[in-house]
Amino acid sequence: MRRQRNTKIVATLGPASSSPEMIEALFMAGADVFRLNFSHGSHDDHRRSFEAIKTIEKKTGRAIGILADLQGPKLRLGTFAAGPVIVKTGQAFRLDLDKTPGNDQRAPLLHPEIFAAVKAGDFLLLDDGKVKLEVKKRGNDFAETQVVVGGKLSDRKGVNLPDTVLGLSPITEKDRRDLAYALDLGVDWIALSFVQRAEDLAEARRLIAGRAALITKLEKPSAVADLERLVELSDAVMVARGDLGVEMPPEEVPILQRTIVGACRLAGKPVIVATQMLESMVSSPTPTRAEASDVASAVYEGADAVMLSAETAAGQFPIEAVTIMSRIAERTECDPAYHRIIHAERSEPEATAADAIVTSAAAVAATIKAAAIVAFSLSGSTTLRAARQRPRVPILGLSPKAETARRCALTWGVHPVITEDIASFSEMTAKACRTAAEEGFATSGQRLVVIAGVPFGTPGSTNILRIAWVD
């Protein structure tokens, strides 16, 4: 099954999309990767979704990626004795470790790591930024604050600290259990929430132990400040605009999105743009014009994937959301200016044989008007390098490793195919031509650009480019 677009779609599964029939319908509508959100649902729920996806993969013969998104640490207020309270701009408000329910003068905040890290002048954002506090004084178990933006507070509202790097791991005990379960299932990607610094990734790498690829979710100002290192240490990156938009001024978010997407493209790392892309479609069968423009902007920036969250997990129109997102991406990529825009910023190739080959492959494919580039890769590195060039023709990513093909389902322009291993040039050429014809990418008389590495089966050895004719 061939998609008529390069940009991939990640669809989040949830109560509105839990049945095997609905998951298959979402795949047929255009979903390339499915997200299991471990902030919600039970392990059994995620297992059933995983099994349904595997059934669809077997039925369609198409490699489908599965992403497990860990919840991460959730910082929340405690409870209030008499229900919701109103705090007024300018008043004093105390936060402390006392478990006694709060009132309009104080509230429990049972996170000692916050009081250990905040300092005078730092801001705290409550309930997604609806209430804003400035720290005036703090101790080991309290913080005296002044209300900068007043409003209503109620039980268990979230707390964001845009100015503070907390001394806590992004992997909670719940995350450890969820991670172990997801890895045992066999997911392809693990998304790590609330990363603050590059050092946070080390623990995740140790726990994953190579069993899945790692996605860093960028949703903290401190993480953005360490962007280059985080991109380098990640297998992919997600622009998580929800919390990022809470902790940073809204006018900064579009610029940050462009910056992050650009950094990932320069590094050759897949990047997902996420959160509220078609938010109105939770309750409406059509998006707003602004939402359509938002999706198109991510496509013009050259993002590898765009993601649907509540739209498919809990919305009333999950199939319609995937369908319209696919149509927006496809139409945007048909714009004559599209390739000029995404090629306006591109990295110089590294001084390696592999980069020389894939750079040449894109140029050769354009010159001879090839139907596709076919990349044979055990690890996926050749395929990723080819995608980094954003060629004008599709990329068939062939791999004998199923996990490699599934991970490539997230990558721009790549049609992943699980295939048998190859042992010779002639076998490579024949396999490329046959697969391109079977998958609907080439017809008799058309040419392909085939790239691979010798010796076959050796990761990272891309050193061959061949032009092949389809019989």
Per-residue tokens: 250: 């809204």
Counting beta carbons within 10 angstroms of the beta carbon of residue 430, is it exposed (0 to 12), middle (13 to 18) or buried (19 or more)? middle
Where b means 16+ CB within 10 Å and e means fewer, 271-280 reads: bbbbbbbbbb
> Distance between terminal CA atoms of the chain?
21
Per-residue tokens: 321: 């959301």
The one-letter amino acid code at 197 reads R
What is the C-alpha separation between 146 and 122, in angstroms, rounded? 11
The one-letter amino acid code at 377 reads S
Q: Is the dihedral of CA 245, 249, 253, 256 positive or negative?
A: negative
What is the C-alpha separation between 291 and 297, in angstroms, rounded? 10
Q: Residue 372 in contact with residue 391, Cβ under 8 Å? A: no
What is the C-alpha separation between 398 and 8, in angstroms, rounded? 17
Among candidate residues 456, 470, 288, the one with its CA nearest the CA of residue 371? 470
Among candidate residues 301, 194, 314, the one with its CA nearest the CA of residue 242? 194
Per-residue tokens: 384: 């990723």
What is the C-alpha separation between 393 and 365, in angstroms, rounded? 7
| Structure letter (DSSP) for residue 63 | -
What is the C-alpha separation between 126 and 108, in angstroms, rounded? 13
> How far, in Å, are 361, 426, 433, 440, 447 from residue 444 at the CA level?
21, 18, 9, 11, 9
What is the C-alpha separation between 237 and 471, in angstroms, rounded? 40
Which residue numbers are catalytic?
35, 76, 217, 275
